[in-house]
Amino acid sequence: GESVGLHLPTLSVQEGDNSIINCAYSNSASDYFIWYKQESGKGPQFIIDIRSNMDKRQGQRVTVLLNKTVKHLSLQIAATQPGDSAVYFCAENGDQGGKLIFGQGTELSVKP
Amino acid sequence: DAMVIQNPRYQVTQFGKPVTLSCSQTLNHNVMYWYQQKSSQAPKLLFHYYDKDFNNEADTPDNFQSRRPNTSFCFLDIRSPGLGDAAMYLCATSRVIRVGGNTEAFFGQGTRLTVV
């Protein structure tokens, strides 16, 4: 069945360093991917998205890379700040009916 | 301003006593989702509405039901809550165009359900 998973459950980085969070997906028919940030006790917050006709998309301090050949997604955060500490989820839209499936999640901890 | 509103933020219910969680949206999105999220886990999709079409996940227990009386509101009914149903319940909305595909989902702040 469809599944989206992450390689690293926890990631600890020094403030100012770059962070890379990875995600693997299994549904080759998925055409839309989203990264969410979730702080404790809050709902997921949209960070950035990418469609399957692209392999890279940049936002403010964040970049998402999509490798359809190996079904891999990554989120890069430049100059990581303490406020970036949260759990990050990738999510996958596998059909045109809006179904949105989340991956395992990575907890990012930023050390000052 | 909150665009996806969940009430209440915290709900305590008794074992076996039916409970309803509510969600409203001001975005006029055609898709609404309910997720269950337990500690240190990813949100798990229970079901979603595409317009009026209800889409239940295969592994969602029958104990969980949903209603969407209009575009703006969606309810999650738990008919007989068990201790294992204690979790954060998240509502989300998105605008989906079949030809153009999907767009980002916006989440509410969640309702944390405690079963005693």
Give per-residue pLDDT as tens, A32-48: 999 999 999 999 999 99
Largest CA distance in chain B: 46
Contact B43 A89 (CB under 8 A): yes
For a pLDDT cut of 90, what percent of chain A falls above it?
Answer: 75
Tell me which of A89, A100, A104, A107 to substitute to probe the interface with B (most B C-beta atoms closer than 10 Å).
A100
In angstroms, the CA B43 to CA A14 distance is 28
pLDDT by position in tens, chain B (length 116): 679 999 999 999 999 999 999 999 999 999 999 999 998 899 999 999 999 999 999 999 999 999 999 999 999 999 999 999 999 999 999 998 775 577 889 999 999 999 99
Segment B24-56, tens digit of pLDDT: 999 999 999 999 999 889 999 999 999 999 999
In this predicted structure, the answer to whether residue A94 has a pLDDT above a threshold of 50 is yes
Peptide bond into B8 cis (omega under 30): yes
Which of B42, B53, B110 is nearest residue A43 as measured by Cβ atoms?
B110
**How many whole angstroms separate alpha carbon B16 and alpha carbon B85?**
11
Neighbours of A27 (CB within 10 A): 16
Q: Which of B41, B44, B98 sits opposite A96 (nearest CB)?
A: B98
The CA distance from B80 to B108, in Å, is 24
**Distance (Å) from the alpha carbon of A47 to chain B's nearest alpha carbon:** 10
Nearest CA in chain A to B31: A98
